Amino acid sequence: MLEDAYQETHLGAGVEDQFIADELPKIGDEDDDGDIHCFDSELVENDEYFPYPNKTIMLLDIMDNLPRCRFTGDQISLILHFATKLGVANVPSLKSFRKIQKTLQLSCGNKPKKSTSHLGNIFYMNDIRDTLAADMANPLVAPHLHFYPEETTGPISETFQAERWMEYTPSQLTPMYSRGNKRFWIEEIAQLLDGRFVIPHTWIVRNGELTADVSFVTRTGDSRWKLEDGFEQTVKALDLHEDFDGIRAMFGNELSWVDARDVPPMPNSMRELVEEDEDLFVIMVSPWADDVSGNRSKQYNKHMNMCAGNGCLPGRLLQQEFHIHYISTSPHASSAEQFATFRDHVKCTETVPVKCFNAATKRNCRFIIRTPGLTGDNPQQSEEASHMGGNANHPCRKCHWGGSKKEKETEKLYHECHLAGAARNVAEIRDNLEKQLRMARHGDKKGIEDLQRSTGTKDKITQHWIEALLKKATALRLESPRRTKDDIASELQIWLDQQPGDKFNPLLDITGLDPSQDTPVELLHTILLGVVKYIWHILNTSQWSDTDRHLLAIRLQSTDIGGLTVPPLRAGYMIQYRNNLIGKHFKTLTQILIFHVHKICTPEQFALIKAAGDLGARLWVPEIDNMDEYIAQLKIAVANLLDAFDAVDPLRILVKIKLHLLAHLPDDVRRFGPSIRFATEIYEAYNGVFRLCSIYSNRLAPSRDISLKFAAMDRVKHVLCGGYWKDHTSKQWIQAGGAVQKVLQADPVFQRHLGWVPHAEIDPGKIKPQAAGKNPAVRWEETVASRFWTENNAPVPDSQWKKGSSASTDSGDNAPLGSWVFCRDSGGKTIIGRVHELLIGPRSLVTIERFILTSEPHVDFGWPVLRRPHGSEITEQGIALYLVLDTISLQHLCSVQHDCRMGDCQPTLSAREFQEREATGRETHLIKHTDDDHFILNLSAFHNFVRVCRALPRRFTELSPIILDRVGFHKQASLKAQAARTTKRQQAAAKKRERAEVKKREAAEAEAAAQRAEDPNAENEEDEEEQGTGDLEEEVVVPRQSSRKRRRVVDDSDDSEDENQQVEVDTGARRQSTRQRRAPNRLDL
């Protein structure tokens, strides 16, 4: 049935949640006569297109497996129909095409594996072992894999250069190094080229070269071996000459030692895991899991997804979708259930390493999987760490900070909230969960809840068994009241041991993984959708009026976004939909908001915005020059941000755990490298690929169908890369034909659709010319450069020069006209300026409009100030206003903003508003700068922040604490937090009383209405009596939420109080209804 469902999906089943097209006839299904036969390797018409029968099938298979350009079965049928009508050769029917794909998947792809969780949920998983084996056999991937930890004196840019890998024992890392037919294992004696003997203990790459930390061994006169005392020394791997097998060949199999107590057993026991001709590696994998909607519409269709990247790859490759590996998804199974299967696969490799082919060395090999970290958003990481979450009394998954609400407001805990507390650990978590199970066997429900509240430890899988044990304990006590608790607990322990499945979080069983510490704080949800979103919310709800927001929109739209690498600003959209912004908007605001809030924010709010920009620029860095100095600056940036938040909203840090988690960022960076290496944006973006797989399935077996489609996409990528697979007939490792491999290497269209980003060679100084038709060549004497040429060998006046629109810099940036750049003058000195002119001729020249840095930073921003040289700087120091340089001197872009605060720039500039790419009659306002001489170097810009810091004097980039006495400051802030919490409690109590009074009043009125409905005569008599008084009455219909539809309003002097109550009730109902209508637009904090 599942096979039929899958075929139905690809044959054109109705697609939910997206408009595709009207149902088409099943073109190509009428008759298979004349089609090519089902795939067989003997029927391949051209070896160049192996494993495909021909080029047509290859192109169709690629088209059907593009990650972000999906086709339904009907659309594929239509494409086949068009191809047939155009006379294309070898066009199959859809049915035959699916048969070929199925055969290809069996021969050179992987098949998803069915899993059943301990709760009985069924899901399918693409085995991570098969996925990583394909990476090893991929000639475009394997050469980039790093299997050893690295130590470098230069910048740290990768996770394998940080401390996390070094926390594993040497035997848990790659234990061997091979060269030729020799394999050098740790803890085995080897011989150097100079004849000395050593025992390697650890393999480490130092400054790009593999080395080993060794102990020296000598041979005594009586032919025995002696392990020399002393410190370990470092030798190069290339200096090793003979391995252990060679030593035994020279001196015999039995090596006699003077003192064998300190000598490790030889040969290394890990040799037993591989064959004689196989190498053994360790591959790092950090899985990511999150709940994702399978729909494109707003209707939520929850799926729990799991993906991973090969942690041995450099970070620049892991930021490409091509290298993101899907593992599993399920609308039923939780992440813990899927992690249990993942854990089993990982643990299996420790005893049975995965056999594969190393495309880089062309040798057979095996590998073991390690899991150094777990990426995801904060709620998911709390679940992975068996933690209760951010609303618990102890809300931090990484440390023990916490207490009750009143305890957190105390001076001591408030101050400790700004620091990283005592760390949790995996052993402690396991002991706590075992204690909870013991208490459950004794039926102590309250004790379990108290323990969970006091520690913050609560595991979903353990909770399932706790609830079952509590239920059984209660039942057993009722059956036999005289039985002791210990007797019942013993019986329940036997029952629990007999139950299949995990009793704890499966991640606690993975070797070398501590979920409490190995869940690094990620940037998207903690910084952008946390800190920056909180700031945006505070400003919009408690500070800005509509007039302020209108002014802010004009200022934002006038921003110079050069050097920021952000998408074009849509300021009007950001202000209009200020409650619905996403990560990219907050990333832009982090870098530019500080320049546009003058006169519309308080000094405390300005300091908070600046602190967020300072921290953001230091987190989005691709490399770290000096780890110790960087960590010191990062700690100051975090402290400044938290203290600035205290000054604006002292209660926020107690209710938003994301602020406290910032204190753990320095430790995470030290262990895992630059924070962008454990960012999750690439996985969040990859959800789009999953969503297409979801909406193009028939929803009968979503986990299976989606896994099958991802397996097919992985197969196509592997084949196009020239990846190897084992032929089932010849038992040899084979790869696709040359024409198939050229598709990915030479076709930019398929490269883009497959997510492959080829390595681009940087050509510094290359100029992109302007359109020749609009900008013809000019003579040298007509250029700006000719007026500021200072060298002797000036170009010929009549020489022809073409003008350029942009030039490549040394960093790979594209510098257009008007952009701000750092460059080197003829003397090698670094200068900053604006690109004024680009010329292409006998030489490539750039004319730089030069600016100089003032000696003191800006009084408000604390950042460098730029201005043009003037006066004595020109006449005496010889600083030119313009410089003509070779374009090779351009170093990198930077972000510079006009000092509108000092210039008091106003929105007096008018421009035409464009709609549909056409100018309208409507005008829009922009900021008109009062001068073109005063600018500020933007040090909250993410792009090239490291390069800018290298070029500037240290005094401009070094942060200093904004609060020196943090303990005293936090004491005052804690008092304010207590007052704020008291006020909120009082307001909440008042609202609660008000709601209770309204409900009571409505109930009384409803009861009175019901009584009148039961006895209408009484109301008529009352009406007659009122009419007898001669008073003028008017009947008015008042909308109400109660069952009463009409209300009689009489003389104001008699029933004014009742009328006021009625109006109050109706107004409250309308206000509540309005709040409900507006609820989706509120900031979700």
* Same domain for 601 and 718: no
* Same domain for 106 and 123: no
* Same domain for 818 and 774: yes
pLDDT-derived band at 941, boundaries 50, 70, 90: very high
Q: Where are the alpha helices (DSSP H) in 233-376?
A: 244-251, 315-318, 335-351
Lowest model confidence (mean pLDDT) among 298-312, 375-389, 1023-1037:
1023-1037
Q: Give me the amino acid identity at 973.
A: A
Task: Please report, for residues 36, 504, 573, 641, 688, the alpha-carbon distance to residue 581 in angstroms, rounded to integers and kept in the order given.
Answer: 53, 38, 9, 22, 19
SS3 572: helix
pLDDT at 880: 85
The pLDDT of 285-291, averaged and rounded, is 96
Of 241, 267, 293, the one marking the end of a domain is 267
Contact 369, 344 (CB under 8 A): no
Tokens standing for residue 1036: 């008015």
The more confidently predicted of residues 258 and 354 is 354
Contact 1010, 1043 (CB under 8 A): yes
The pLDDT of 22-44, averaged and rounded, is 41
pLDDT at 25: 38
pLDDT at 211: 97
pLDDT-derived band at 877, boundaries 50, 70, 90: confident
CB atoms within 10 A of CB 768: 13
Q: What is the CA radius of gyration of the chain?
A: 36
* Same domain for 886 and 808: yes
* Same domain for 992 and 950: no
* Same domain for 606 and 484: no
pLDDT at 1021: 53
pLDDT at 352: 96
Tokens standing for residue 1019: 């109301």
pLDDT at 1014: 79
Confidence check: pLDDT of 600 > 70: yes
The pLDDT of 940-951, averaged and rounded, is 96
Cα–Cα distance measured from residue 905 to residue 598, given in angstroms and rounded to the nearest whole number: 11
Can you spell out the DSSP letters for 962-1030?
S-S-HHHHHHHHHHHHHHHHHHHHHHHHHHHHHHHHHHHHHHHHHHHHHHHHH-HHHHHHHHHHHHHTT
| Residue at 977 is within a domain | no
Task: Please report, for residues 120, 135, 285, 326, 374, the alpha-carbon distance to residue 289 in angstroms, rounded to integers and kept in the order given.
Answer: 20, 21, 13, 10, 8
| Residue at 623 is within a domain | yes
Cα–Cα distance measured from residue 546 to residue 268, given in angstroms and rounded to the nearest whole number: 73
pLDDT-derived band at 296, boundaries 50, 70, 90: confident
Confidence check: pLDDT of 699 > 70: yes
Confidence check: pLDDT of 1016 > 70: no
SS3 727: coil
| Beta strand ranges found along 518-634 (DSSP E) | none
pLDDT-derived band at 145, boundaries 50, 70, 90: very high
pLDDT at 35: 46
Name every residue whose Cβ is closer than 8 Å to that of residue 480 and which is 6 or more positions away in sequence: none
pLDDT-derived band at 1029, boundaries 50, 70, 90: very low
Q: What's the domain count of the chain?
A: 7
How do residues 808-850 score in pLDDT, each as one tens digit?
999 999 999 999 999 999 888 999 999 999 999 999 999 999 9
* Same domain for 123 and 202: no
pLDDT at 1018: 55
| Residue at 570 is within a domain | yes
SS3 172: helix
pLDDT at 7: 43
The pLDDT of 1034-1047, averaged and rounded, is 40
Lowest model confidence (mean pLDDT) among 208-217, 925-934, 1051-1060:
1051-1060
| Residue at 975 is within a domain | no
CB atoms within 10 A of CB 41: 15
pLDDT at 774: 78
SS3 343: helix
Confidence check: pLDDT of 1046 > 80: no
Q: How far is CA 978 from the centre of its chain?
A: 36
Q: What would you measure as the largest C-alpha separation in the chain, in angstroms? A: 135
How do residues 443-455 score in pLDDT, each as one tens digit?
999 999 999 999 9
The pLDDT of 1034-1056, averaged and rounded, is 39
- Please identify which residue in the block is written with the tokens 């008084």: 1029
Cα–Cα distance measured from residue 169 to residue 421, given in angstroms and rounded to the nearest whole number: 26
> Residue 92 burial by CB count (10 A; 0-12/13-18/19+): exposed, middle or buried?
buried
The pLDDT of 75-97, averaged and rounded, is 94
How do residues 950-962 score in pLDDT, each as one tens digit?
999 999 999 999 9
The pLDDT of 142-154, averaged and rounded, is 95
CA angle (546, 547, 548) in 5-degree steps: 90
Confidence check: pLDDT of 16 > 50: no
Give residue 590's domain range.
523-681
SS3 457: strand
Percent of the chain with pLDDT over 90: 77
Confidence check: pLDDT of 1023 > 70: no
Confidence check: pLDDT of 86 > 70: yes
pLDDT-derived band at 1084, boundaries 50, 70, 90: very low
* Same domain for 121 and 68: no
Contact 765, 772 (CB under 8 A): no
| Residue at 157 is within a domain | no
Confidence check: pLDDT of 1032 > 70: no
Cα–Cα distance measured from residue 927 to residue 551, given in angstroms and rounded to the nearest whole number: 9
Phi/psi for 391 (5° steps) reads -100, 5
Full-model pTM: 0.87
* Same domain for 730 and 775: no
Contact 159, 145 (CB under 8 A): no
pLDDT at 1045: 37
The pLDDT of 408-429, averaged and rounded, is 96
Cα–Cα distance measured from residue 476 to residue 487, given in angstroms and rounded to the nearest whole number: 10
Tokens standing for residue 355: 């056999």
How do residues 221-252 score in pLDDT, each as one tens digit?
888 899 988 788 999 999 999 999 999 999 88
Between β-strands 190-192 and 197-206, what pairing exists: parallel, antiparallel or unpaired? antiparallel
Name every residue whose Cβ is closer than 8 Å to that of residue 614 and which is 6 or more positions away in sequence: 637, 640, 641, 939, 940, 959
pLDDT at 1068: 45
Q: Which of 490, 431, 500, 503 is nearest to 460 (CA)?
A: 503
User: Which CATH number belongs to the domain containing residue 771 in this structure?
Assistant: 2.30.30
Confidence check: pLDDT of 5 > 70: no
Q: How far is CA 12 from the centre of its chain?
A: 34
Cα–Cα distance measured from residue 930 to residue 92, given in angstroms and rounded to the nearest whole number: 69
Between β-strands 1047-1049 and 182-185, what pairing exists: parallel, antiparallel or unpaired? unpaired
Of 481, 509, 537, the one marking the end of a domain is 509
> Residue 90 burial by CB count (10 A; 0-12/13-18/19+): exposed, middle or buried?
middle
Task: Please report, for residues 51, 394, 677, the alpha-carbon distance to residue 374 in angstroms, rounded to integers and kept in the order given.
Answer: 37, 21, 12
| Residue at 515 is within a domain | no
Q: Give me the amino acid identity at 1066.
A: D
Q: Which of 384, 350, 351, 352 is nearest to 369 (CA)?
A: 350
**How many residues in the chain?**
1085
pLDDT-derived band at 735, boundaries 50, 70, 90: very high
Lowest model confidence (mean pLDDT) among 189-193, 976-980, 1052-1056:
1052-1056
| Residue at 697 is within a domain | no
CB atoms within 10 A of CB 724: 25
pLDDT at 1017: 64
pLDDT-derived band at 697, boundaries 50, 70, 90: confident
Terminal alpha carbon distance of the chain: 45
Task: Please report, for residues 38, 588, 901, 1078, the alpha-carbon distance to residue 545 in angstroms, rounded to integers and kept in the order given.
Answer: 70, 22, 20, 19
pLDDT-derived band at 1075, boundaries 50, 70, 90: very low
* Same domain for 197 and 313: no
Confidence check: pLDDT of 52 > 90: yes
pLDDT at 1054: 41
Cα–Cα distance measured from residue 460 to residue 379, given in angstroms and rounded to the nearest whole number: 13
Cα–Cα distance measured from residue 576 to residue 235, given in angstroms and rounded to the nearest whole number: 64
How do residues 450-497 score in pLDDT, each as one tens digit?
999 999 999 999 999 999 999 999 999 999 888 899 999 999 999 999
Average pLDDT, the chain: 88
Contact 638, 666 (CB under 8 A): yes
Cα–Cα distance measured from residue 399 to residue 840, given in angstroms and rounded to the nearest whole number: 60
Cα–Cα distance measured from residue 990 to residue 193, given in angstroms and rounded to the nearest whole number: 85
Cα–Cα distance measured from residue 441 to residue 335, given in angstroms and rounded to the nearest whole number: 26
pLDDT at 422: 96
How do residues 883-897 score in pLDDT, each as one tens digit?
999 999 999 999 999
Confidence check: pLDDT of 384 > 50: yes
| Residue at 399 is within a domain | no
pLDDT at 1057: 38
pLDDT at 1020: 55
Task: Please report, for residues 80, 308, 316, 317, 789, the alpha-carbon distance to residue 682 in angstroms, rounded to integers and kept in the order given.
Answer: 34, 11, 11, 11, 48
Q: Which of 100, 110, 108 is nearest to 35 (CA)?
A: 100
* Same domain for 536 and 616: yes
* Same domain for 949 and 808: yes
How do residues 493-521 score in pLDDT, each as one tens digit?
999 999 999 999 999 999 999 999 999 99
Cα–Cα distance measured from residue 370 to residue 349, given in angstroms and rounded to the nearest whole number: 9
